[in-house]
Structure formats: C-alpha cells, structure tokens
Amino acid sequence: MPDNATRPHDHAPSSPDDRRRAVERLHDRSGPLRDGYDVAMLDLDGVVYRGDDAIDHVSESLEAARAAGVRLAYVTNNAARTPDAVVAKLRGLGMPTEDDAVVTSAQAAGRLVAGLVEPRSRVLVVGGEGLQKAVEEHGLVPVASADDGPDAVVQGFSPDLRWAQLAEGAYAVARGIPWVASNTDGSIPTARGLAPGNGTLVAAIATATGGVPQVAGKPYAPLFDETVLRVGGSRPLVVGDRLDTDIEGANNVGADSLLVLTGVTDLDALMTAPPPSRPTYVAPDLRALALPHPPVDVEAEAARCGSHAVLVADGALLVDGAGLAADDHEAAVELLRAAVALAWHRRDEIAGESSRRLDLAAIRSALEPWGVR
C-alpha cells in the first residue's frame, strides 16, 4: 500500500522479537549483491510484476541470481490465491520458479492458527480458497459459520468476500476465541487504482467486537519464518517495493533488504524514511542484484558513492558533475545511494531540518531513464 496510507496498526499487535533492528545508514558490498545471500525473498506486485505484466529486466536478473546459487522465494501478503495459482502466473510471465517457491500469508496464518488450537479443531475461515487450503494443510477443519462451533477464526482477503462472512467472523470473535489475520494491508493495487485491502476488513471485525487479531503477514515475523521453513536458506535478502511491509518486515526479523523503486515507494518516501523502515540497500530495479554497492562518504553538504556525488544547495539535492549515461545502471545505483545517504544524514544529524523540505527534482530527473519517480 502507499507509504502514506493508513494500515490499522491498532488492530495488528506483534510480540517483542529480539531480532528487530533499525537501519541508520546504507550497507555496502564490493562484489555483486547477490553473492552475499543464499535466498532472495521477493515481493511480487511492484517487484516482479505490475498487475498482469512483468517488470522489465526482472526475469533475466532472477535467472542470473539463481544461476549464481541464490534460492528464489516469492513471498506475498495476498492470501486470496493458492501458491499453485501464483506459480502458474509467474511461469506465464517467464519467471524462474520451483513448484514450492511461492509462500503466502495464508500459509503463515494457517501455521499460526494451528499453534493456537488442538489438532482437528474447527476454524472459521473468513476469506478465499488460498486461506481455506492453508487451514486444511495443518489438519484443521474449515467451517463457514459461527454456529459450527469454531475454536478459532482466520481471516484473509478475497475479492468475493461478502458482509455475511464478515458478520460470521464477528459473531465468532466476540466469543473470545483466537483470531488470526493473514495481513493488515490497508489497500491493494488493481488495474483501476488502489482498492481496500484486508486491513479494512480486519478493522470492520475489530470495530464490531473490540477484538485484536494476531497477524501473520508482513511486516510481522510469521511470514518470513514460514518462508525459511519452506524454502530454506540462512542468509536471506528481502526484496520489496514497500517500506511499511517489505522493508519494515525485514528489519523486524533482522534481515538485510533491497528496496527497488519499481512499485509503490517513490523518492520522497525513501528519503524521509525513519530508521525502522529503512532498507539496507536501494536501487532503481532488480538489475542491482548483479552489481556492487560501493560505500558512501557523507558530509554535511555532500555525499559521494563511487564516481558520483550529490550535494545540497538552497534546499535542493543536486547532482555534482556530469549526468548519467542512459545505459549505465551501475552509475544510477551509485547516484541513488549518494542521494539517499545524504538525505538520511541531514534528517538524522542536522538539528531541526526535515528532509521533506529537500527539493529532489534534479535527482528525479537524473534517474528518470530508470523509471524513478
């Protein structure tokens, strides 16, 4: 969802986790970024595809990462579709994927609710096919009515969800039984724009009952832990386009992250991100997996990364020196890293200055060939 949108955090508590961290500054890597990790946890919409179309350069970038020994895990908060359906879509778009490479918030929710009830317990499913199959996978019995005596409620997004299903969920939650939500994203992208997401539906039951669900999806830990259980790996890199789900989620579990600017997050949101929502790496797109990420030297008025520098003048971030060649992706990564590092430094270290006041027009213009907004 957009970084300035509202997600119902009031209804999405998470337990303390000693893996949680904040990111003060960008990390660097002298060789290809992909060489430092054994699994890439990839968000889908905004990273791999937009709607029904593959994002440019993604397929070849992921093929190269897999050839270099990186496992690919496609990790989504969307609980409506089954993993098999997502695998079919990815293959239709030419993406490299194994049969078991897709992990959904429904699967994480299924495991979470299974840990709260006895085996073969009845679980009221407020959602679609993906959530029902996830419940069945753990030996639980999905039911559709509060009158069926459920021992727990699990809720996830479905475009076909009706008021009657929400009402059944509310009747059951009001009895005080465990309630698990797949995710609490406030919106979902559609071909016509942003539409209400599962968070709005969770809020409806919370408002009716005063209940508070446990949440399985990003930015909380269960979905990341589910991915490790299913795909493996000990050195994950979380790749996403959203600060408040993908990147904040990576920080919640102490994982490194790459933010790509092919989806929701724009320059303004990235430059003003607080430490809990900051990525460890940034790039225009997934070609950055094959590139080094040089260190950034930062001072009060300027920052340099590789052969590219950015400075502050009259409240604006400016490119110091020649512009970028349209085919030089490594230069684009260096310029973006310098700009982000300088904006974060001024936000954190220059007393009283908000980086929201910085004019980013020059940086945006320089990075326009890479689709950066």
Residue 26: strand, helix, or coil:
coil
Cα–Cα dist 211/179, whole Å: 8
Cα–Cα dist 254/221, whole Å: 10
What's the start-to-end Cα distance of the chain, in Å?
16
C-alpha 295: how far from its chain's center? 25
Phi, psi torsion values for 10, nearest 5 degrees: -60, -20
Q: Identify the residue whose tokens are 């310029």.
A: 335
Beta strands in the chain (DSSP E): 39-42, 49-50, 53-54, 71-76, 102-104, 122-126, 141-143, 152-155, 179-181, 187-190, 193-196, 214-215, 236-240, 256-260, 281-283, 296-298, 302-305, 308-313, 316-320
Q: Which one of 3, 43, 185, 241 is the catalytic residue?
A: 43
Angle 285-287-291 (CA atoms, 0-180°, nearest 5)?
Answer: 120
Copy the structure tokens of residue 80: 């409506």
Cα–Cα dist 249/112, whole Å: 17
**Residue burial 161-179, b: 16+ Cβ < 10 Å; e: rest:** beeebbbbbbbbbeeebbb
Q: Which one of 3, 45, 151, 246 is the catalytic residue?
A: 45
Q: Identify the residue whose tokens are 């684009």.
A: 332
Whether 43 is catalytic = yes
Is residue 272 within 8 Å of 354, Cβ to Cβ?
A: yes
| Active-site annotation, residues | 43, 45
